[in-house]
A and B are shown apart, each in its own frame.
Chain A
Amino acid sequence: MITFEAVTHRYGAMTALDTVSLSVAEHELCVLLGPSGSGKSTLLRLVNRLLEAHSGRILVDGHDVRSYRAEVLRRGIGYVIQNVGLFPHWKVADNVATVPRLLGWERSRIRARVAEVLDLVGLPAGTYGGRYPHQLSGGEAQRVGVARALASDPPVLLMDEPFSAVDPLGRQRIQGEFLEIQRRLKKTVVFVTHDVDEAVRLGDRIALLKDGRLIQHDRTEVLLERPATPFVAEFLGRDRALKRLSRVPASALARSSAPPDSAGALPEATDLRLALAHFLESGTAVVALQDGAGRITGWLHREDLEALARAGGPA
């Protein structure tokens, strides 16, 4: 869906990207991760031609991005930035309607679509549509930013550290909500962040960049299990085993037979990192897993969890 072919970009004498080749499959959320100055934002901004590559090609849906007029290309790609950049003189509904208006949609279609996407991000149009950006909290403004990017239903979404200005608690919430939206809409997303936890939580795949070079690009689980270089291992952190556990729901390891002694219960959607925390706190070896209705669906054994953590653990 999005292909970078040997892309190089320079700022003056500084090489920001050095022959980066990378493919993002349709419906996949690919995180561009790396320290500041690694070139991740540059790579993202080449896709909608806010920057132009000095050499190499970028294909979106098989077409070179340079074959479009820049405005036409950008109207077909959703774009969310860190500081949101809502238009302060327009109401929320008008902000969300930006791209449909640029595309010349009919008024009634725009109104219906604005209501739909505002609902999608959890801000009912009736309550929020008439507000001005300065009347929103940081988290609400960022949701409006996401709604605005989704308004024309573009297949591709570019997100440049979209949640990093939101406070930690709000960030976790908005990440969860965004994951839900992504599960439903299945966009092709390129997501830039320097936050490893965010990358691990959201990314189907992670492309790790350093000094303008692509160091490793793999499924998130693979990256955590088998970091290709000491830099990757160091950047992901020494708690890689825990990060890996955080991506697996407890239900994945559930056994069906009842154990002799079981203490406590957890929702089956709990991730294994939280389940481990439960074991550490309670000192038990088994915990029951419940579905949303409180029915027991299986049992999680501490030894299974530990076995999983050891497999592919620190080399």
Chain B
Amino acid sequence: MKAGGWSWLALAGFSSALAALTLVPGLWPWVIYPRATPLELLGQHLALVGLSTLAAVAAGLGLGIAVTRPAGQSFLPLARTLAAVGQTFPPTAVLILMVPALGFGRGPAWAALALYGVLPVFANTVEALLAVPAATREAALGLGFRPAQILWRVELPLARPLILAGVRTSTVVNVGTAAIGATVGAGGLGSPILSGLVTQNNGYLAEGAILAGLLALTLDAGFGVLGAAGDVGSTRPSS
């Protein structure tokens, strides 16, 4: 079976487990967190991860493209250094640092997730665009592509797998970091985990942890499917 096949299998398995445990609360063999249904918690969590990751991808991709254009090239070394340094910060630290700036609630969690999520997308976008062979770019230019056409038709399609890997990392890490968001009052699957820790209720804790874990695995498998579909050979030149 091809790699894409395993990804489909994993996606089907993880997503159906996740769906069953959120849509049919009766499946849980122990008493679960009472203040919100699993579905509500998952919804909050997804909104947190989805919105922040979307912003992170837009910013990371945009910045990555900008610093690899001739006009932005002077910022390239600085931007790469900052991205490398930024990724050494633990996501929790970024989250906690947001509180004094933005207060409690969804806002700081959202901002911290977006900020932290930018880094892998940005770093991978830059590396992927720099990895496009010089001869390919030179040929494209010499054959009469406009710079924007080179970006859309040649550079981005070639960079796609690596960029997608960055988005994958960013998303999956954010699923975990978003759970810590409960400590600043962001809601989501972190709520039962936090509550379980405070009241020493392992049932609550396990509920949040299992659902967050399944969500991360589902999204990861989803990107696996996307990545396999994006192998060289499936992209077509547009005219």
Contacts and interface: CB of A to CB of B under 8 A. Distances in A.
Interface string A167-189: 00000000000000000000000
A74 B141 contact: yes
B162 to A, nearest CB: 13
A295 interface: no
Given A88-B232, A89-B232, A81 B138 contact: yes
A148 interface: yes
Interface residues of B, number: 24
A50 interface: yes
Given A88-B232, A94-B237, A132-B233, A81 B139 contact: yes
A87 interface: yes
A98 interface: yes
Contacts of B145: 71, 102
Nearest to B139: A85
A132 to B, nearest CB: 7
B141 A102 contact: no
B218 to A, nearest CB: 29
A132 B133 CA distance: 16
A74 B154 contact: no
A156 to B, nearest CB: 13
Contacts of A71: 144-146
Given A71-B144, A99-B144, A101-B239, A88 B158 contact: yes
B8 to A, nearest CB: 23
Contacts of B237: 87, 90, 94, 97-98, 101
Contacts of A224: none
B157 A74 contact: no
Given A82-B135, A84-B139, A102-B144, 10 more contacts: A79-B142, A83-B133, A86-B136, A87-B136, A89-B233, A101-B237, A101-B239, A102-B145, A132-B233, A148-B143
Nearest to B239: A101
Contacts of A136: none
A122 B51 CA distance: 54
| Residue from A76, A89, A97, A158 with most neighbouring chain B CB atoms (10 Å) | A89
Contacts of A83: 133-135
Given A86-B139, A88-B158, A89-B158, A132 B144 contact: no
Given A81-B135, A83-B133, A84-B135, A89 B142 contact: no
Contacts of A48: 142
Given A81-B135, A101-B239, A87 B142 contact: no
A249 to B, nearest CB: 35
A104 B144 CA distance: 13
28 contacts: A50-B138, A72-B144, A73-B144, A74-B143, A74-B144, A76-B144, A81-B142, A83-B133, A83-B134, A84-B135, A85-B136, A85-B137, A85-B142, A86-B139, A87-B136, A87-B237, A88-B133, A88-B136, A88-B158, A89-B158, A89-B235, A98-B143, A101-B237, A102-B143, A102-B149, A132-B232, A132-B233, A158-B142
A139 to B, nearest CB: 16
A86 B235 CA distance: 15
Contacts of B133: 83, 85, 88
B2 interface: no
B140 interface: yes
A132 B237 CA distance: 13
Interface string B66-84: 0000000000000000000
Given A94-B236, A94-B237, A75 B144 contact: yes
Interface in B138-189: 138-146, 149, 154, 157-158
Contact of A50 (B142, B233, B235): B142
A79 B145 CA distance: 13
Q: When A and B form their complex, which 3 residue pairs have the shortest distance between CB atoms, in order from nearest?
A: A85-B139, A75-B144, A83-B135
A13 to B, nearest CB: 21
Contacts of A85: 133, 135-140, 142
A89 B157 contact: yes
A140 B141 CA distance: 22
A99 B145 CA distance: 9
Given A85-B133, A89-B158, A89-B232, A74 B239 contact: no
Contacts of B232: 88-89, 132, 134
A87 B236 CA distance: 11
A308 to B, nearest CB: 41
Interface in B195-239: 232-233, 235-237, 239
Contacts of B137: 85
A98 B158 CA distance: 16
A145 B157 CA distance: 20
A97 B236 CA distance: 12
Interface string B112-139: 0000000000000000000001111111
B155 to A, nearest CB: 10
Nearest to B233: A132
A73 B236 CA distance: 26
A82 B134 CA distance: 12
